[in-house]
Amino acid sequence: MDNFTFYSPTYFVFGKQTENKAGAYVKKFGGNRVLIHYGRGSVVKSGLLDRVKASLEKEGLSYSELGGVCPNPKSGLVYTGIDICRSQNIDFILAVGGGSVIDSAKLIAAGVLYDGDFLDFCKEKPVERALPVGTVLTIPAAGSEGSPNAVITDETTLVKKGARGDAIRPAFSILNPELCFTLPPFQQAAGISDIIAHVLERYFTPTENVEATDRLCEAVLLTVIKEAPAIMKNPRDYEAQANLMWAGMLAHNNVCGVGRIQDWASHNMGHELSSLYNTVHGASLSVMFPAWMKYVMDVDVSRFVRLAVNVWSCSPNGQNPKQTALEGIVRYESFLKSLGLPTSLKELGVKTEDIPKLVEHLKISRPEGCGGFKRLSFEDAEAIYLLADRETL
Amino acid sequence: MDNFTFYSPTYFVFGKQTENKAGAYVKKFGGNRVLIHYGRGSVVKSGLLDRVKASLEKEGLSYSELGGVCPNPKSGLVYTGIDICRSQNIDFILAVGGGSVIDSAKLIAAGVLYDGDFLDFCKEKPVERALPVGTVLTIPAAGSEGSPNAVITDETTLVKKGARGDAIRPAFSILNPELCFTLPPFQQAAGISDIIAHVLERYFTPTENVEATDRLCEAVLLTVIKEAPAIMKNPRDYEAQANLMWAGMLAHNNVCGVGRIQDWASHNMGHELSSLYNTVHGASLSVMFPAWMKYVMDVDVSRFVRLAVNVWSCSPNGQNPKQTALEGIVRYESFLKSLGLPTSLKELGVKTEDIPKLVEHLKISRPEGCGGFKRLSFEDAEAIYLLADRETL
């Protein structure tokens, strides 16, 4: 186990009707003049935004609004948000939505207190100061409600890049599983794919003797695998939604990843699909992760066997561990398909001849290469895109 | 799953030689004049206290010292600590030791800022203000390094009581597994028993549909069960100590217990053994928990079967689930014995005729009764003490 620090100071407020406490928590964490940040209208239509506003009004808090965040959020709206905050002396950002909204809110919060371009934070400069951010989460997926991360697409280069820093961990996050009852099935499924990927990016490590975090990773995966089919069958299953929503936070506040080198190559390769084809993030991962697994399996077959046995209930084949490892990947792919997710580039509408462009773009986004379990060359990346192009196992 | 809040803001610093950063972290969290609180000398003999002092001096921080905390810590030393802090304008408490030292430090921190008797916090009044506390942990056991709890024995009544409040969660906790290399085997084993008990008190719940936390509980238990024998064989096994130390924190910062009713009857009954016979806390639990399990098993056999199968690797007996459940308890007892721990009152030197006294004392400590999985009457408690008096299975 490597030395590490772990810090997850977010105050989580979980359960039914908790969005009505948003105002009280903004006040608890020092907010007075709030910017409510949200997406493209579903929170308006559902009445959620009105309930949140009412809770702010109840506490005597003033607020402005900035909607319009799209999936794979863009830099443009962040600049708009920073301008609003500065001109209106906003002192608290309240994100009402999913990962895209929260990420956009985090970068507004960081940008307001920074004299330069907020995109500097996407160049390894950690965010050290930011306005406090609160969240009302509407989909379990990105884990941004408990993470120090934010991902944004620079509109001038179409490069999808990440910023991080303890200063952008949310002060509080409100998680009401009831808010997920009306999610479109594909969006819900993509969120599930994202949660699984957040765990797997940590599970695949060259660091040895990390039993505690291995077991936590397996615990979160087992929870997701149990609850996901119940949710796809009946999205109003509160208990299944509740377990999934909490698992989504655990998958990405790094409690599953401390003390170990992590991978993240599948995310990096998936980001290129989102940048160039606007692929839904979770769908980019359902395509790239199984392909990555097949390509890197030989680096440490025993780790793939462990996943297959402990998570996918495969019987270990002592004579042929590789067969067990592959069986685990097949079950993962079958699971993703059962949720209605794509597992090949074809299903995303990405053609074989587009692969060189993806690789070229990856060279710009990740000139240093990617992957901690196996460091990938750009030839490796191309081979993995080609694997993702084929029919699945 | 029940509605809940979860808040674990402690900054954890984990790994080799991290105690040398104590001064830097005291400074980061605003300390200037520090009270170093510790036990009965092992941290002096080992040189740890000198390293911690050197790290404070390096940062230009002044400090006073208060040693002498004993296992099952007493109220007297807390009053002494409060007086020192007030007279010397101490603004930060640094606990160097195990759970007893940390608990004592937390109550000093709370008492300094409170006009009344700090024992008021042991009467359901949560601690809302306290000096910041940092810890340098020397044994994985109590989980106090990440918890909002503190337990103290009121010397006037010999009642062992708990205080709690987010204000006494440590600001930072330094966990260096190397510090455990020289622990006496019995103390190490008692710590392991305590960690397991912290998980089981949460695992046994009447709340349904808590898959995420069930899986986390199982993950922590599986980690402890894997690492404990390695440590008992070779206490200088860094990797095993590291996984156990982190598991000890996870077992008690409540990440395993949110959204569910918890039990805690075994702790309450064990506390009486510590109050009256000064039984080591972990040893009181290795005696009381298996006895409690046998007594309450029929309340929900399926939960005991799940534990037996998922944690103790028992084969499920579909025809006779009770047999599987019992097999799990037997394996737990065998595991405790293999660590050199007692599993009966006899081994603690407590006689059958002492049981009425234990029950009478429990009536004073817990007039409302105890237990969330099964609410115990005092007749139930007597029956459990009698079970603990018998030879084990």
End-to-end CA distance of chain A: 34
Average pLDDT over residues A46-66: 98
A206 touches chain B (CB under 8 A): no
Average pLDDT over residues A28-43: 96
- Residue B309 and residue B326: Cα distance in Å, rounded? 11
With bands split at pLDDT 50, 70 and 90, how would you rate the model's confidence at B392?
low
**Residue in A5, A8, A243 nearest the CB of B209:** A243
ipTM: 0.97
| A contacts of B11 (beta carbons < 8 Å) | 5-7, 9
- Domain A11-179: which topology? Rossmann fold (3.40.50)
User: Is it the case that residue B198 has pLDDT exceeding 80?
Assistant: yes
Q: Which of A2, A10, A14 to mutate to test the interface with B (most CBs of B within 10 A)?
A: A14
At a CB cut-off of 8 Å and minimum separation 6, what does B274 contact?
A: B72, B153, B160, B280, B281, B284
Sketch the domain layout of chain A as residue ranges. Answer: 11-179, 185-389
User: Is it the case that residue B25 has pLDDT exceeding 70?
Assistant: yes
With bands split at pLDDT 50, 70 and 90, how would you rate the model's confidence at A56?
very high
- Residue A358 and residue A351: Cα distance in Å, rounded? 11
Enumerate the β-bridge partners of residue A8.
Answer: B8
With bands split at pLDDT 50, 70 and 90, how would you rate the model's confidence at B306?
very high
Residue A233 is inside which H or E element, if any?
helix A211-233
- Domain A185-389: which topology? Dehydroquinate synthase-like, alpha domain (1.20.1090)
Contact criterion met (CB < 8 Å) for B259 and A210: no
Name the minimum distance, in Å, from the CA of B226 to any CA of chain A. Answer: 8
At a CB cut-off of 8 Å and minimum separation 6, what does A40 contact?
A: A67, A68, A69, A70
Q: pLDDT digit string (tens) for A344-386?
A: 999 999 999 999 999 999 999 999 999 999 999 999 999 999 9
With bands split at pLDDT 50, 70 and 90, how would you rate the model's confidence at B393?
low
B239 touches chain A (CB under 8 A): yes
User: Is it the case that residue A393 has pLDDT exceeding 60?
Assistant: no
Residue A160 is inside which H or E element, if any?
strand A159-164
Q: pLDDT digit string (tens) for B329-370?
A: 999 999 999 999 999 999 999 999 999 999 999 999 999 999
User: Is it the case that residue A270 has pLDDT exceeding 60?
Assistant: yes
Sheet harboring A4-14: ordered strands across?
A62-66, A33-37, A92-97, A133-137, A172-175, A4-14, B4-14, B172-175, B133-137, B92-97, B33-37, B62-66
Rg (CA), chain B: 20
Q: pLDDT digit string (tens) for B255-271?
A: 999 999 999 999 999 99
- Residue B290 and residue B323: Cα distance in Å, rounded? 15
| B contacts of A240 (beta carbons < 8 Å) | 209
**Residue in B9, B14, B220 nearest the CB of A9:** B9
Q: Which of A145, A166, A215 to mutate to test the interface with B (most CBs of B within 10 A)?
A: A215
A196 touches chain B (CB under 8 A): no
What pLDDT is stored for residue A43 in this prediction? 96
Query: Residue A134: left if φ>0, alpha if ψ -120 to 50, beta else—which one?
Result: beta
At a CB cut-off of 8 Å and minimum separation 6, what does B186 contact?
A: B280, B340, B341
Name the minimum distance, in Å, from the CA of B245 to any CA of chain A. Answer: 10
User: Is it the case that residue B174 has pLDDT exceeding 90?
Assistant: yes
Average pLDDT over residues A91-101: 98
Structure tokens at A60: 């005597």
Contact criterion met (CB < 8 Å) for B3 and A18: yes
At a CB cut-off of 8 Å and minimum separation 6, what does A93 contact?
A: A34, A35, A37, A81, A85, A105, A106, A108, A109, A131, A132, A133, A134
